[in-house]
Amino acid sequence: MRALVTGGAGFIGSNFVRFWAERHPDDAIVVLDALTYAGNRANLAPLDSDGRVTFVRGDIANQELVEHLLASQRVDVVVNFAAESHNSLAVLDPARFFRTNVLGTQALCDAARRVGVERFHHVSTCEVYGDLALDSDESFREDSPYRPRTPYNASKAGSDHVVRSYAETFGLPVTITNCCNNYGPYQFPEKVIPLFTTRALRDERLPVYASSENRREWVHVDDHCAAIELVLAKGAPGETYHVGSGREASVAQIAAAVLEATGKPSSLIELVPDRPGHDRRYLLDSSKIRGELGWAPEVPFEAGLAGTVR
């Protein structure tokens, strides 16, 4: 197989490239990444230096470039990780998120349908559904209504709608995964686990939002990569699959776990004002991918967090 992985120098994308190269050594991988602040060529080492990956610096919104890559590299499958993904930054600069996540995805879909790829896989998020009450026993299903509450969430919801519209209108063979919060190696330290870890190692304060009991569902990035691999192999075109572990942890619990793993005191925790539109809780019903495709997470949260800190 010949795959184009967009956003392949970022956190989840680079982990996926390494995962795929190890498990499918005969496949060709082309990485397209704009190398904005969260993208890093070093994330792809040593694959980037031994010829197993072809790297192209570019923007998914550049449709001419994408079409040329798809055709010249004879790409069979597109896996789209490229996205602006930081909620707090989206509050400051919403237009940047809509440009990349909505218009960029549209340009990518259009290039893929013009060239005629065999599969277009789009990586999305649980945040498109809005949030749940902390005491709720509900979870989001694949048919749950979209109720995004922040510019980032709305831009990802828009990208999902773009992908589905290209399937319905043009027959583009698409699949979508909506995943819960990822953690693991190579994550840019704006996100909570690497932020807390790097600050703890420097004996700096860990900024915990005032709504410290807000919870997220967490899955190790390796388990997410395995889920995408299964969807590409066995998933039905046109289908959406939720990737969730069922393991929830609050911001306060994350801070405590990082401090324990780094051997640092709880006095480093500092409460800070909440951000606008801060979602309370996300939880995905992942019974579809478990039942239909046989996926299940393998990395226990405690062990995965300790390994990430190391």
The listed range with the strongest mean pLDDT (44-48, 181-185, 271-275) is 181-185
Q: In 3D, which of 150, 76, 84 has the Cα closest to residue 118?
A: 76
pLDDT at 215: 79
Pull the structure tokens for residue 249. 């942890």
Q: To the nearest whole number, what is the mean pLDDT of the chain?
A: 91
**Is 254 part of any domain?**
no
Q: Is the dihedral of CA 41, 258, 183, 207 positive or negative?
A: negative
Nearest to 116 by CA among 160, 62, 74: 74
Q: How many Cβ atoms sit within 10 Å of the Cβ of residue 42?
A: 9
Taking the CA atoms of 303, 224, 156 and 285 in sequence, report the sign of the dihedral they define: negative
What's the half-sphere exposure (Cβ side, CA atoms, 13 Å) at 105? 29
Tell whether 47 is covered by a domain.
Answer: yes
82 domain residue, yes or no: yes
In the chain, what percentage of residues exceed pLDDT 90? 72
Distance CA 60, CA 7 (A): 9
* Domain containing residue 67: 2-185+219-246+281-299
What are the strands of the beta sheet with 174-179, ordered from one edge?
Answer: 53-57, 28-33, 2-6, 77-80, 119-125, 174-179, 240-243
Are 218 and 248 in contact by the 8 Å Cβ rule? The answer is yes
Q: Are 14 and 186 in contact (CB under 8 A)?
A: yes
Whether residue 215 contacts residue 192, with contact meaning beta carbons closer than 8 Å, is answered with no
Q: Judge whether 309 lies within some domain.
A: no
Helix, strand or coil for residue 91? Answer: helix
Outline where DSSP puts E strands in 53-154: 53-57, 77-80, 119-125
Cis amide prior to 46 (ω within 30 degrees): yes
Number of domains in the chain: 1
Q: Is residue 64 part of a domain?
A: yes
**Distance between terminal CA atoms of the chain?**
34
> What 8-state DSSP symbol labels residue 52?
S
pLDDT digits (tens, 9 = 90+) for 147-177: 998 999 999 999 999 999 999 999 999 999 9
Rounded CA gap, 34 and 58, in Å? 5
| Amino acid of residue 202 | R
Structure confidence at residue 89 as a pLDDT band (50, 70, 90): confident
> Closest Cα to residue 110, out of 165, 30, 158, 154?
165
In a domain, 148, yes or no: yes
Q: What is the pLDDT of residues 218-252, one digit of tens each?
A: 999 999 999 999 999 999 999 999 999 999 988 88
Report the C-alpha gap between 65 and 177 in whole angstroms.
25
Which CATH number is 44's domain given?
A: 3.40.50.720
In a domain, 126, yes or no: yes
Higher pLDDT, 297 or 281: 297
Is the distance from CB of 108 to CB of 60 less than 8 angstroms? yes
Evaluate whether residue 307 is within a structural domain.
no
